């Protein structure tokens, strides 16, 4: 039995490694690089000073003086991820330096061409994604220290000060809290394939606890991020040029193609975590939501996308639970569903505090408050075109509630009570 368990552990380890998922960090990039070869220092210099340059209204002029660099010297995956992160930060700041007041229609060739090349090599779009800002944008202050807010820092930031650090790093901690669940997914699928009820229950219990830990990590958003700063300053720098009325025509990547291209801004829907849980539990979303979520998979590293696809092709967990008619198994499945519903409900409350409430205040400021007072409230600066939308372009609250309600529907005990 011990030998069989060891084999099973080895198989799970190999399974995650095959999809570039870390046993320690999950979907997050393991120990991201902090430096590129000296040749790429012009990118690093601007990315490291991006917020300061935006404040001085000088980032665009810095880009116009930047040399156009080739990308052939970027050899490793981690070098490419750091380059993509740096170019993404620079691009968001270039596009949104003046907010909605002075939008650009063209990303200059010296930035657009290398950015496109790096994106093509990684299989990522040429815009700041969750894979950049969260998964590859961190380092430990003390290498042997813990993975917590006190010992983590960003490689690059955006305008918004400490709230930017809080937003990206709390989201990273949510990803890290999910690591036990990711490691348990192959165990659950293996148990279904082998008819191992106790193994499936064990895996589902790990996933339930892990999802609860994700919710606890998410609660730190209220400690480290100021809602008025998020809404009024940060949010536009996370916004894209697809489903965004203020950039309805998209953005021309000069030297790549003459026609404008459209890409969505950063979104929690670009995290591979919830997609993995949805596929495992057999959650089927309403068509409009499903289409948006499917499109968001194009913003994930290809190996992570393949992991989600692999889960979707596995034998149905829910069918296995129904066929077994085992009370303990059914309860374990429904606990998982309940924890996912709880996490999604909590996320709705976070979005309400950080987007819906500030949007309402922004409307009041726009129509009812003297100009002298508006100057001191960051919410006033918030992008008008995104008042009812998330940075990914979705109608945020209706989308989140629909997704949460479809998650509830998969519960077995809830259906039997109808």
The annotation places the binding site at 347
**Token pair for residue 338?**
């309940």
Distances (CA, A) of 130 to 200, 338, 406: 30, 26, 24
Token pair 């007072």 is at which residue?
373
Give the separation between CA 265 and CA 392, rounded to whole angstroms.
Answer: 4
CA terminus-to-terminus distance, the chain: 42
Give the pairing of strands 106-107 and 252-253.
parallel
Q: Which long-range contacts (CB under 8 A, 24 or more apart) does 322-331 make?
A: 322/412, 324/197, 326/197, 328/197, 328/201, 329/197, 329/200, 329/201, 330/412, 330/413, 331/413
Give the separation between CA 103 and CA 251, rounded to whole angstroms.
Answer: 10
Give the separation between CA 148 and CA 315, rounded to whole angstroms.
Answer: 37
Residue ranges of the annotated binding site for heme b are: 347
Cβ burial of 104 (10 Å; 0-12, 13-18, 19+) is: middle
Report phi then psi at 154, rounded to 5: -80, 155
Give the pairing of strands 252-253 and 139-140.
unpaired
**Token pair for residue 297?**
């998979």
336 close to 411: Cβ distance less than 8 angstroms: no
DSSP states of 301-330: -HHHHHHHHHHHHSPPHHHHHHHHT-HHHH
Token pair 């996370």 is at which residue?
238
């Amino acid at each position: 039995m011990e030998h069989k368990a060891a084999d099973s552990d080895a198989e799970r380890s190999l399974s995650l490694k095959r999809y570039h998922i870390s046993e320690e960090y999950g979907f997050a990039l393991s120990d991201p690089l902090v430096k590129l070869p000296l040749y790429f220092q012009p990118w690093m210099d601007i990315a490291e000073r991006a917020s300061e340059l935006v404040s001085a209204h000088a980032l665009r002029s810095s880009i116009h003086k930047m040399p156009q660099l080739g990308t052939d010297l970027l050899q490793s995956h981690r070098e490419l991820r750091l380059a993509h992160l740096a170019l993404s930060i620079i691009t968001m700041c270039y596009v949104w330096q003046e907010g909605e007041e002075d939008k650009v229609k063209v990303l200059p060739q010296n930035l657009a061409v290398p950015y496109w090349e790096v994106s093509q090599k990684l299989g990522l779009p040429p815009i700041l994604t969750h894979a950049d800002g969260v998964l590859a944008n961190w380092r430990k202050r003390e290498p042997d220290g813990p993975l917590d807010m006190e010992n983590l820092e960003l490689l690059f930031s955006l305008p918004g000060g400490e709230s930017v650090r809080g937003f990206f790093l709390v989201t990273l901690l949510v990803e890290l809290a999910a690591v036990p669940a990711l490691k348990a997914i192959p165990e659950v699928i293996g148990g279904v394939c082998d008819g191992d009820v106790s193994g499936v229950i064990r895996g589902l219990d790990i996933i339930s606890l892990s999802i609860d830990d994700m919710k606890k990590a998410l609660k730190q958003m209220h400690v480290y991020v100021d809602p008025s700063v998020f809404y009024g300053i940060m949010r536009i720098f996370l916004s894209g040029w697809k489903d965004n009325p203020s950039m309805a025509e998209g953005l021309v990547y000069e030297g790549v193609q003459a026609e404008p291209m459209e890409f969505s801004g950063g979104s929690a829907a670009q995290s591979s975590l919830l997609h993995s849980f949805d596929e495992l539990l057999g959650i089927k979303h309403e068509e409009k939501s499903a289409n948006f979520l499917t499109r968001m998979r194009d913003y994930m590293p290809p190996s992570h996308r393949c992991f989600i696809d692999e889960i979707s092709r596995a034998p149905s967990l829910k069918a296995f639970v129904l066929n077994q008619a085992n009370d303990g198994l059914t309860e374990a499945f429904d606990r998982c569903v309940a924890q996912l519903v709880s996490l999604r409900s909590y996320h709705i409350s976070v979005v309400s505090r950080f987007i819906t409430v500030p949007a309402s205040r922004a409307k009041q400021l726009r129509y009812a408050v003297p100009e002298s007072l508006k100057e001191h409230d960051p919410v006033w600066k918030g992008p008008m075109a995104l008042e009812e939308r998330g940075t990914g372009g979705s109608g945020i609250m209706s989308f989140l509630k629909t997704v949460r309600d479809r998650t509830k529907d998969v519960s077995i005990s809830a259906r039997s009570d109808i």
